[in-house]
Structure 1
Amino acid sequence: MNIFNRNTTKRHLKQFEIEIAELLSSEFPEFKKVIEMSELNGINFMEKPQGINLTRSYNPKVYGEIKRNHNTCFNLVGVSVFEKKTKKYVPIKLGYLHDALNIIEIPNPKQFHRIYDLNNTKVEKIEIKNIKLENPEKAIVLKILNEIDLEKLSSLDLENTFEIEIDGQLFFTIIDMEDGNYIAIDKERIIYRLNHDQNVRVKKIAENPIEFFKIYSDKKSELENIMNQ
């Protein structure tokens, strides 16, 4: 027995998530798309419930699209995997976050690749249960913007806000310019434009939200020149 291959690894799970995405490509074409846009960067074995947690990484431009177009969280049943010992297909429960495989609920998760044939799966009746997805960054940004009235807040993209780190500095997106660039705020309440196409990726555009709303009144076109400076 290969002592370096005792537990299930990222390699096994990459193989499995591709297998499932292919199997469900007609019902969920977004699964394959998200796999192509991201990278499986970690796995954790869970005890309650027993299973495997998968984590992914995205570059900032891609993550904006993920938050905008793949803002999902749901459990999926109806997929079965072939169990080597019993020669039978065993149903498993899968969890998806942002249309990416996030949770596999199974007994003996460390032996997943040994107990089951990960290349031998089938689909029966698919059912999904949507889970309300909370955005913890939204609460942070609302606290930063606590003196701004609701009308102005409604002009911002706060539902899909996320934290982004550039050169060791943290920002929270507040307007998605829909081209991989953003207007963002930091915890000091300073407003910046983030443009990955410019030599200077981060540039301060307002000392505080009140000053920012003097140049912005709910039209992204008002920010185009600033984004390219």
Structure 2
Amino acid sequence: MNIFKSIFKKLSARLKTSAERNFIAIVDSLPHELNSSKEYTKNCSDFHFSNWEEFPEFRFVMCRLPKNSLEKYSNRTINKKLSGIQVYSNKSKDYIDIELLIRNNYISGVKVPNHDLRSLDTTRIDLNKLIINEFDFPEEEVDRIYKSLPDSVKDKIVQSEMMELEFENRIFFTIYDLEDGNYLAIDKNHNVYSLIHDANPTSKKMKIDLKSLINDLTSDNFNISEHFDERYKNSA
């Protein structure tokens, strides 16, 4: 029995690897204009393809993201649907249509007949019928947080640059990029936090309200260097 289990595990690993390999080959084949999305996606590793409740015809593309990849590549203005990708199927002995969904610049969905990525021959990919359209995804939590802000604050924050981040098992929404993966952010109640990777703690509630902070930032009254010095000095 143990021998059969071992064989099954090895076979499953090979099948999973072929699906992953074929997915990357399709991503590689996409045109130059999608290079940003290609780089974001290929920067990941250990791809898995799971059911997607929002879009049942697609498989959701899960992966392992290197540190700071979200900050480097994510762009919430890039949301597209790619259709007309034709790839030869060893099972049907013909070309089949593949579709991809790009969400926030990441290729997060793949649609293959019968969800069978493994049977594809990715040496035969035809993009002559490729169609790229804008795609509207359901509203995200970060968008709802933005809409909940006072108008005086909204006018001074770029909505598309806000991101949802997890620090110390808590969810925050960025409002200002301090660079190198460090941010000023808010929680869902609009409390202001400093998120500094190398400080201890990495997330610290600030003694300032959101409106005052935004005013300081836009009038150049917020000294970033002093803020870092204070955070490091007060690290436990």
SS at match of 1:226: helix
Q: Deviations over 1:155-196 (max 9, x none)?
A: 224333222222223222112234322111123433122122
Normalised TM-score (structure 2): 0.74
Q: Unpaired segments of 5 or more residues in structure 2?
A: 1-6, 231-236
For residue 80 of structure 1, the aligned residue among 82, 86, 93 is 86
For residue 140 of structure 1, the aligned residue among 121, 137, 145 is 145
Q: Over aligned residues, Cα RMSD in angstroms?
A: 3.3
Q: Deviations over 1:14-73 (max 9, x none)?
A: 2123202321253422243113433455421469753422134545632123334x6411
Higher alpha-carbon deviation: 194-203 or 174-183: 194-203
Q: Unpaired segments of 5 or more residues in structure 1?
A: none
Which residue identity is paired with 2:20? K
Match of 2:184 in 1: 183
Q: By percentage of residues, which structure has more strand?
A: 1
Q: Deviations over 1:88-112 (max 9, x none)?
A: 2222222222333222223321x43
After TM superposition, the structure 1 = structure 2 runs for residues 149-168 of structure 1, keeping only pairs within 5 Å, are 150-168=151-169
Query: Which one has more relative contact order, counting CA pairs under 8 Å at least 6 apart?
Result: 1
Question: In 2, Cα distance between the equivalents of 1:56 and 1:228?
Answer: 36
Question: In 2, Cα distance between the equivalents of 1:121 and 1:24?
Answer: 10
Classify 1:153/1:9 alpha carbon distance in 2 versus 1 (closer, same or farther; 3 Å). Answer: farther
Equivalences, count: 222
Higher alpha-carbon deviation: 184-193 or 35-44: 35-44
Q: What's the offset of the Cα at 1:154? A: 1.9
SS at match of 2:216: coil
Classify 1:152/1:16 alpha carbon distance in 2 versus 1 (closer, same or farther; 3 Å). Answer: same
